[in-house]
Amino acid sequence: MSPTLELRPGRYLTFHLGSSHYGVPIRAVREVVRLCPVTVVPLMPPHVRGVVNLRGHVLPVFDLRAKFGMATVDYTDRACIVFFDMQGASRQLVAIGTIVDGVDDVVMLSESQLNPPPDFAGAVESDYLLGVGSTPERTFTLLKMQTILATEGSVMLPSFTSTAAARGPETP
Amino acid sequence: MSTHDELLEAVAEVLARLAEELAFAEPGSDAGLLPVNALLMDLEQLPAQFLPEALREALVLPRRWIDAALDTTATFDQTTLQRLHDWHGWAIDCLMCAATGNTPPALPPSIGEETPAPQDVLPACVQEPAPPEPVAEAEPEPAPRTPAATAGTGVPTMVLKLPGDLELLREFHSESLELLRSIEQAVLTLEQNPGAADAINAIFRAFHTFKGSAGFLQLDALRDFAHQLESLLELVRSGEAPVTRAVIDAILAGADVLAECTSRVGAQVTGVEPAEPIPVPAADVLALVSAALRGEAAVAAPTAVAESPAETEAATPVAPSREDAPRAETPAALPAAAKPAAREQAVADSFVRLDAAKLDDLVNLVGELVVAQSFVLESPDVRGSPNLELAHAVRKLSRITRGLQHNALSLRMVPVGGLFRKMTRLVRDVAATQGKQVRLVLKGEDTDLDRQLVDKLGDPLIHMIRNAVDHGIEPPADRIAAGKDATGTIELAAFHRHGGIVVRVSDDGRGLDPARLIAKAMQKKLIPADARLDTQEALELIFLPGLSTAETVTDISGRGVGMDVVRGHIESLRGHVDIASTPGAGASFTIRLPLTLALIDGLLVGLGGQRFIIPALSVRETFRPRPGQVSTVHEHGEMVEVRGQSLPVLRLGRALQRPARVSRPEDGILLIVESGTVVVALLADEILGKQEVIIKNMGDAFAAQTLVSGGAILGDGSVGLILDVESLLRAPRAPASFPTSRPLQAALP
């Protein structure tokens, strides 16, 4: 199993969509760029926004809001495209970009700051979730980004982040 | 019939390119003048039987207009453009009539009745005593001036327009060096084989281009000199003058003068020499030309390699003062003629093997450089800067960048011929071990392929060629018994089709027997015993792993590995293999490869603010329809009448379900695109230009998207989508009344 699909202590890139905060293992991230004009590809589902030129490579860009079934917004200048390394069909590495409202930080999460996905997450949803990470300031839903991006259609995530945040960190 | 069609198609293609150039030409501008000139030359050089007679005769008209333009202002004027447009329209009609066997229409009065008036368009040409007739195409040039006539008035000179024409002169200089090289090359060929039409044409073309470019830069003396040389070649080309030693000497001497002038131009452009009139010492060469034409019967054509250059010089009255510079300019040419083998060896040794990944990195980096460079160039600070030195430096940067880009791209493209020729040996070896007689015919060897494709095509090709020799071609006795030539033929062809590349292996052997394939597959339990397959399905069985059709297993092929591996290979290149077979007459395997990495010529079209690229190969012509030319036909949607042919109109916006800016056809532009036998008029908002682009694979995320075959990085760094014309035309057409605001999801499966 790819190390980025396991819940491990380490550095995580955190970003947000609206008021929901997410984290992904930094090793899964290839690059973050400011949102640039995306060339729309016709006849694609709404979460496939189009393509951009990343230093001579034409890479697909997904709209993460659409992918998660969230309302669309007009992106501000804080919006970014986060590129994730993906295992392509012919085993070469390809990258897929996702538009997020904003990138927050890179945080170091230790064993004690990581929790497995809550029980109430269904079997399907837990395929998309690494778990929950928390810092004194915030709680993050940690995502298995490769699995999410490889899944066709939209992906419904359980909205437990706010619950978890309300409960606060349960770590001793 | 089909050859006839192909010939007409070749003409149609040149005419289509002519239309593209004309579409971008404007009065008072030189944009497109030289390309139009070159295209006219293409037409003029097509073998006579290619052209309908009326069209061939009418070719002198645009030639006269273009020559007049090149001789005077070197720009298009309104009248010329209008005439060219009218002429082009008439030429298309003419071609259509030829294709349908009808009588071609008469030339429209606007261009047909125009009387040639070359004298009043010629510039006052002070340094030139006897300006040549610019309408010489109609009849062979009279013997050039005698040396005495020219010598009396001194050596003609030309003055470079510096610094105004600096950029153009630079281009002229590098282009001329190229031309000189091609002349040398062609002369070498000609010396070995005086009948080589290609070589004669190449030299003719080079002199003609010299003439055109020199005329364009108003280097009249050089233009007239090149014109004389061209006239000599014209006589040789038409067969009126044989290729004699004297003719070759005249060509070489002419090339020497051109080389010297070129090097002087280079020296003045780079500032090594002060700007001063450059003499064009034409007289001696023209004397040689006259001598060549007069003494054509006296001197026998050389049959073998030329004498040494020293002898050549000694035998001909070339002015000694010119010897050094041109020799320095072209050091490799003549000595090499004596030792062609050594030269080839040197060429073979000068290749470098390098890591393909490094090459890819280079191409990507250069792509970025071009983008960054155009960003600098377009910046308002730079554009608006009064600093001339900065402007100069930026232009220089941009020229170097373009050169670098072109170079880097070409590094990755290699002609498929190298790979093809390897197969010759394979065929010979395999045929020998099998006691068969097989001839391998190669076609389209100069088709450029991305080298990654060429590399990966090797294994599948070896398999397929082996199979063709081993299974396809019968032993000589069987072939004779079947009434065929004892020698079997395998054809290996490469060509561009539908914006992709096709490689086809076909043989005239026994073909595949569908019944035997089915029996074999059932015997090996690869298909159920009660399976019912049609012929095509049966043929496809050959791609199943573990199926072998040979009665005896040979050590060449027939172990049942091969075709399944071939298919795997091709599919990993995102291509596919088709099979066709006629029992007793042969089989053919057609590999279609996407252009994944190949460079293509694209038309950039605008649709609702977005830019799309349509491979220029699929576009037959483009035009703005007249109001009423597009009509709605009940149950057929919109149709457009193009020269008597009714074509369905496909609105690009509707096909892609993107908003279009244009709703009335007469406000937009129609592109007549074809894929196989399907021809459709595609309605877009506008044509923004044409551009060579590299197709970039967009990845698995768009695997289901068949309308877009890839993306390309445009000049401003954004991505343009390359449309797949084949899928676009095959997609079910929405009725004309379909609302454009159809929700996106509705189209998804």
Interface residue of B604, B613, B719 to substitute, partner A, most A CBs within 10 Å: B719
Tell me what pLDDT residue A170 has: 41
| Helix, coil or strand: residue A30 | strand
Helix axes B2-24, B78-100, angle to 10 degrees: 160
Distance CA B154, CA B173 (A): 25
Distance CA B318, CA B287 (A): 10
Interface residue of B456, B597, B698, B713 to substitute, partner A, most A CBs within 10 Å: B698
Give yes or no for residue B493 having a pLDDT over 90.
Answer: yes
Q: How many residues belong to chain A?
A: 172
Residues 6+ apart with CB under 8 A from B249: B288, B292, B312, B315, B316
Q: By mean pLDDT, which of A48-57, B193-202, B370-379 is the weakest? A: B370-379
A53 interfacial to chain B (CB closer than 8 Å): yes
Tell me what pLDDT residue B597 has: 53
Model confidence at A2, in pLDDT bands (50, 70, 90)?
Answer: low
Q: Give contacts of B708 with chain A, Cβ < 8 Å.
A: 41-42
Distance CA B538, CA B581 (A): 11
Tell me what pLDDT residue B313 has: 38
The beta-carbon neighbor of A41 closest among B371, B705, B717 is B705
State pLDDT tens for residues B555-567.
444 434 467 778 7
Q: Give contacts of A62 with chain B, Cβ < 8 Å.
A: 701
For residue B427, how many other CB atoms are within 10 A of its CB? 21
Distance, in angstroms, between A76 CA and closest chain B CA? Answer: 20
Contact B685, B660 (CB under 8 A): yes
Q: Answer whether A59 sits within 8 Å of B363, measured CB to CB.
A: no
Burial of B409 (0-12, 13-18, 19+ CB in 10 A): middle
Tell me the helix, strand and coil percentages in chain A, rounded to 5.
Answer: 20, 40, 40
Q: Give contacts of B696 with chain A, Cβ < 8 Å.
A: 57-58
Interface residue of A38, A57, A90 to substitute, partner B, most B CBs within 10 Å: A57
Nearest CA in chain A to B746: A43
Q: By mean pLDDT, which of A49-58, B560-569, B597-606 is the weakest? A: B560-569
- Cis peptide bond upstream of B163, omega within 30: yes
Which of the two residues, B306 and B206, has the higher pLDDT score? Answer: B206
Q: Give contacts of A56 with chain B, Cβ < 8 Å.
A: 363-365, 367-368, 713
What are the backbone dihedrals phi and psi of residue A127, each rounded to the nearest 5 degrees, phi first? -65, -25
For residue B401, how many other CB atoms are within 10 A of its CB? 19
Distance CA B569, CA B263 (A): 51
Distance CA B637, CA B185 (A): 56
Contact A142, A133 (CB under 8 A): yes
Q: Give contacts of B698 with chain A, Cβ < 8 Å.
A: 41, 51, 58-60
Contact B13, B39 (CB under 8 A): no
Average pLDDT over residues B619-635: 88
B595 interfacial to chain A (CB closer than 8 Å): no
Give yes or no for residue A34 having a pLDDT over 90.
Answer: yes
Tell me what pLDDT residue B671 has: 95
ipTM of predicted assembly, 2 dp:
0.84
Distance CA B466, CA B589 (A): 13
Q: Answer whether A51 sits within 8 Å of B365, measured CB to CB.
A: no
Tell me what pLDDT residue B276 has: 82
Average pLDDT over residues A155-170: 52
Distance CA B243, CA B234 (A): 12
Q: By mean pLDDT, which of A131-140, B91-100, B370-379, B586-595 is the weakest? A: B370-379
Distance CA B222, CA B211 (A): 7
Measuring CA to CA, which residue among B261, B23, B56 is closest to residue B138?
B56
Please give the mean pLDDT across all residues of chain A. Answer: 82
C-alpha gyration radius of chain A: 16
Which pairing describes strands B413-415 and B448-450: parallel, antiparallel, or unpaired? antiparallel
Average pLDDT over residues B147-174: 70
Q: Answer whether A58 sits within 8 Å of B711, measured CB to CB.
A: yes
Classify residue B696 by its DSSP letter: B
Distance CA B517, CA A151 (A): 40
Average pLDDT over residues B160-167: 77
The beta-carbon neighbor of A48 closest among B697, B701, B721 is B701
Q: Give contacts of B748 with chain A, Cβ < 8 Å.
A: 43, 45
Distance CA A105, CA A102 (A): 10
Structure token digits, residue B114: 């125009």
Residues 6+ apart with CB under 8 A from B653: B607, B608, B659, B660, B683, B740
Q: Answer whether A42 sits within 8 Å of B700, measured CB to CB.
A: no
Q: Answer whether A42 sits within 8 Å of B720, measured CB to CB.
A: no
Q: How many residues belong to chain B?
A: 749
Which B-chain residues 663-682 have CB contacts (< 8 A) with chain A?
none
Q: Answer whether B747 sits within 8 Å of A88, measured CB to CB.
A: no
Q: Answer whether A39 sits within 8 Å of B711, measured CB to CB.
A: yes
Nearest CA in chain B to A40: B610
Express as a percent the part of chain B with pLDDT over 90. 11
Contact A116, A7 (CB under 8 A): yes
Burial of A74 (0-12, 13-18, 19+ CB in 10 A): exposed
Name the helix (H) or strand (E) containing B522: helix B514-523
Give yes or no for residue B45 having a pLDDT over 90.
Answer: no
Q: Report how many helices (DSSP H) and strands (DSSP E) chain A contains, helices first.
A: 4, 12
Residues 6+ apart with CB under 8 A from A156: A68, A69, A125
Residues 6+ apart with CB under 8 A from B461: B419, B423, B492, B503, B505
List of domains in chain A: 3-149 (2.40.50.180)
Distance, in angstroms, between A98 CA and closest chain B CA? Answer: 13
Q: Answer whether A42 sits within 8 Å of B713, measured CB to CB.
A: no
Tell me what pLDDT residue B600 has: 66
| Helix, coil or strand: residue B217 | coil
Structure token digits, residue A112: 């004690």
Tell me what pLDDT residue A122 has: 60
- Contact pairs from chain A to chain B, CB under 8 Å: 84
Helix axes B451-467, B356-378, angle to 10 degrees: 140
Q: Answer whether A43 sits within 8 Å of B700, measured CB to CB.
A: no
Give yes or no for residue B746 having a pLDDT over 60.
Answer: no
Which B-chain residues 362-401 have CB contacts (< 8 A) with chain A?
363-365, 367-368, 371
Q: Answer whether A58 sits within 8 Å of B700, measured CB to CB.
A: no
Contact B673, B620 (CB under 8 A): yes
Interface residue of B650, B702, B724, B740 to substitute, partner A, most A CBs within 10 Å: B702
Contact B469, B438 (CB under 8 A): yes
Nearest CA in chain B to A94: B699
What are the backbone dihedrals phi and psi of residue B672, each rounded to the nearest 5 degrees, phi first? -85, 105
Looking at beta carbons, which pairs linking A129-135 to residues 24 or more positions away fall under 8 Å? A129/A157, A130/A5, A130/A6, A130/A7, A130/A25, A131/A7, A132/A160, A132/A161, A132/A164, A133/A12, A133/A23, A133/A107, A133/A109, A134/A164, A134/A169, A134/A171, A135/A107, A135/A109
Q: Answer whether B699 sits within 8 Å of A59, measured CB to CB.
A: yes
Which of the two residues, B541 and B50, has the higher pLDDT score? Answer: B541
Q: Give contacts of B610 with chain A, Cβ < 8 Å.
A: 39-40
Instruction: List alpha helices for B158-296, DSSP H.
Output: 166-192, 197-216, 220-237, 245-269, 283-294
Tell me what pLDDT residue B735 has: 39
Q: Answer whether A60 sits within 8 Å of B610, measured CB to CB.
A: no
Distance, in angstroms, between B368 CA and closest chain A CA? Answer: 6
Tell me what pLDDT residue B300 has: 37
Query: What would the DSSP string read from start to end of B131-185?
Result: PPPTTGGGSPPPPPPPHHHHHTT---EE---TTTTHHHHHHHHHHHHHHHHHHHH
Residues 6+ apart with CB under 8 A from A53: A59, B371, B713, B717, B718, B719
Classify residue B472 by its DSSP letter: I
Give yes or no for residue B369 having a pLDDT over 90.
Answer: no
A89 interfacial to chain B (CB closer than 8 Å): yes
Distance, in angstroms, between B14 CA and closest chain A CA? Answer: 33
State pLDDT tens for residues A53-106.
988 788 999 999 999 888 888 889 999 999 998 875 544 567 899 999 999 999
Name the helix (H) or strand (E) containing B641: strand B637-642
A35 φψ region: left (φ > 0), alpha (ψ -120 to 50), beta (else): beta
Nearest CA in chain B to A96: B701
Interface residue of A39, A40, A83 to substitute, partner B, most B CBs within 10 Å: A39
Across B545-554, B577-586, B727-736, the highest mean pLDDT is recorded for: B577-586
Nearest CA in chain A to B717: A53
Give yes or no for residue A165 having a pLDDT over 70.
Answer: no
Sequence-ordered strand ranges (E) for B88-144: none
A37 interfacial to chain B (CB closer than 8 Å): yes
Q: Give contacts of A40 with chain B, Cβ < 8 Å.
A: 610, 658
Q: Answer whether B719 sits within 8 Å of A52, measured CB to CB.
A: yes
Model confidence at A125, in pLDDT bands (50, 70, 90)?
Answer: low
Please give the mean pLDDT across all residues of chain B. Answer: 75
State pLDDT tens for residues B331-340.
333 443 444 4
Q: Model pTM?
A: 0.46
Q: Give contacts of B747 with chain A, Cβ < 8 Å.
A: 43
A116 interfacial to chain B (CB closer than 8 Å): no
Which strand ranges, in their side-by-side order, compose the sheet holding A10-17? A102-109, A10-17, A20-25, A139-143, A129-134, A114-115
Average pLDDT over residues B283-294: 80
Average pLDDT over residues B269-291: 82
Measuring CA to CA, which residue among B457, B683, B478, B681 is closest to residue B591?
B457
State pLDDT tens for residues B645-657.
889 999 999 999 9
Which of the two residues, A118 and B135, has the higher pLDDT score? Answer: A118
Give yes or no for residue B419 having a pLDDT over 50.
Answer: yes
Tell me what pLDDT residue B548 has: 58
Which B-chain residues 684-723 have CB contacts (< 8 A) with chain A?
696-703, 705, 707-708, 710-713, 717-721
Query: What would the DSSP string read from start to end of B11-59?
Result: HHHHHHHHHHHHHH--TT--TTHHHHHHHHHHHHHS-GGGS-HHHHHHT
A168 interfacial to chain B (CB closer than 8 Å): no
Which of the two residues, B166 and B665, has the higher pLDDT score? Answer: B665
Amino acid identity, position B33:
L
Which pairing describes strands B413-415 and B599-607: parallel, antiparallel, or unpaired? unpaired
Distance CA B464, CA A22 (A): 53
Distance, in angstroms, between B735 CA and closest chain A CA? Answer: 18
Q: Give contacts of B700 with chain A, Cβ < 8 Å.
A: 88-89, 94
